[in-house]
Amino acid sequence: ALLENAMARFLNTGVVPRRIGSRHPLVPPFQAFQTADEALVVCCDTEPQWQAMCRVIGRADLIEDARFAHNNTRTANHAALEPILAAEFPKRGRDAWLALLQAA
Among all residues, which ones are annotated catalytic? 24
Pairwise CA distance, residues 55 & 100, whole Å: 10
Report the candidate in 66, 59, 37 with the shortest Cα–Cα distance to residue 104.
59
Pairwise CA distance, residues 11 & 88, whole Å: 37
Pairwise CA distance, residues 31 & 23, whole Å: 4
Instruction: Using alpha carbons only, give the angle 62, 26, 85 rounded to the nearest 5 degrees.
Output: 35
Diameter of the chain measured on Cα atoms = 42
